[in-house]
Amino acid sequence: MIPQNFDYATPESLEEAFRLLSDPNAKVLAGGQSLIPMMRLRLAAPETLVDLRGVPGLGGIRLEGRTLRVGAMVTHYELESSPLVRKSCPLLAEAAANIGDVQVRNCGTIGGSLAHADPAADYPASLHALEASVRIASPSGERTVSIADFLVDTFTTALEPGELVVEVSVPVEAEGAGVSYQKCVQPASGFAIVGVAARIVKKDGEIAFARIGVTGLSGNAFRATGVEKLLEGTRGDASDIGRAVAGIGDGVDANNDIHASAAYRQHLARVYAARAIVAAVSRAK
């Protein structure tokens, strides 16, 4: 199937990109792995595509103190394979490795994925668990928002017209932390029916710190703070985990589609949360 016609621009600076994006019918082409299929099905028809691959400063993964800074145009494959990411933020590498397939990971970018805000995307679970922040730039300056503020709803973000995601920041994982991302795969698309990310730090045999992120369950990914609270201070036994995850979907308006009913998704959220926590606990030192 054939997309509608459009103009194509390859800005060589952020300023140029902003100028092009001031047109409300312009759209960013980051990795294109969601956008191009939508254009082919004519569900999206931008008049201008602004390809960011030539814009300096949007790539690269840097360590700055205890923060890992990931450029918006960094591909899933770069994240999955980067020794720096695997060492300093293994959860992010694990999330990236779970996205789509090899070809998609070679092209798709973290910035593109976030800006698209698919409710079944893999990153948001981990980014919530990591309490990531998203740096946004616009002609009038920059701002940084938390992942929780960035992801507003299904296919909706905090990006204002003309704004761009330029960087995602995550903390360097604590020494001895255990992390895991567990995903129930929608067999046709490879997206997450439910995906849960867990970060666990133990101290003296007890869970001292827990962060849990959930994707796919509802229209927007979220951090399961209730689960975290119930985990912290326990030894992370099966019964502790079972108690902690029991209410993970409480008050959540669960998605309901041909791939999973709302009730089953709620159940899967509990199962996969438990699996992610068990794996993270076992990996935590």
By CB under 8 A, is residue 43 in contact with other proteins?
no
By CB under 8 A, is residue 84 in contact with other proteins?
no
Largest CA distance in the chain: 62
Answer for the pair 154, 141: CB distance below 8 angstroms, yes or no.
no
Distance CA 28, CA 169 (A): 21
Burial (CB count within 10 angstroms: exposed 0-12, middle 13-18, buried 19+), residue 126: buried
By CB under 8 A, is residue 187 in contact with other proteins?
yes
Answer for the pair 222, 129: CB distance below 8 angstroms, yes or no.
no
CB nearer other proteins, residue 199 or residue 270: 270
Query: Any idea which residue has 């990996």 for tokens?
Result: 283
Number of residues that bind other proteins (CB under 8 A): 43
By CB under 8 A, is residue 258 in contact with other proteins?
yes
Contact mark string toward other proteins, 89..128, x via CB under 8 A: -----------xxxxx-xx---------------------
Answer for the pair 217, 145: CB distance below 8 angstroms, yes or no.
no
Q: Please report how close the Cβ of residue 77 comes to other proteins at its closest, in angstroms.
A: 7
Q: Please report how close the Cβ of residue 5 comes to other proteins at its closest, in angstroms.
A: 5
Residue choice 23, 51, 131, 232 for contact with other proteins (CB under 8 A): 51
Residue choice 29, 132, 168, 221 for contact with other proteins (CB under 8 A): 29
By CB under 8 A, is residue 59 in contact with other proteins?
no
Residue 145 CB: number of other CB atoms within 10 A? 15
CB nearer other proteins, residue 15 or residue 257: 257
By CB under 8 A, is residue 271 in contact with other proteins?
yes
Q: Please report how close the Cβ of residue 267 comes to other proteins at its closest, in angstroms.
A: 7
Q: Please report how close the Cβ of residue 276 comes to other proteins at its closest, in angstroms.
A: 13
Distance CA 103, CA 82 (A): 17
CB nearer other proteins, residue 42 or residue 143: 42
Distance CA 123, CA 181 (A): 10
H helix or E strand, kind and range, residue 146: strand 141-146
Question: What's 221's DSSP letter?
Answer: -
Distance CA 197, CA 277 (A): 8
Query: Contact positions toward other proteins, by CB under 8 A?
Result: 1-8, 29, 32-33, 36-37, 39-42, 49, 51, 53, 77, 81, 100-104, 106-107, 184, 186-190, 258-261, 264, 267-268, 271
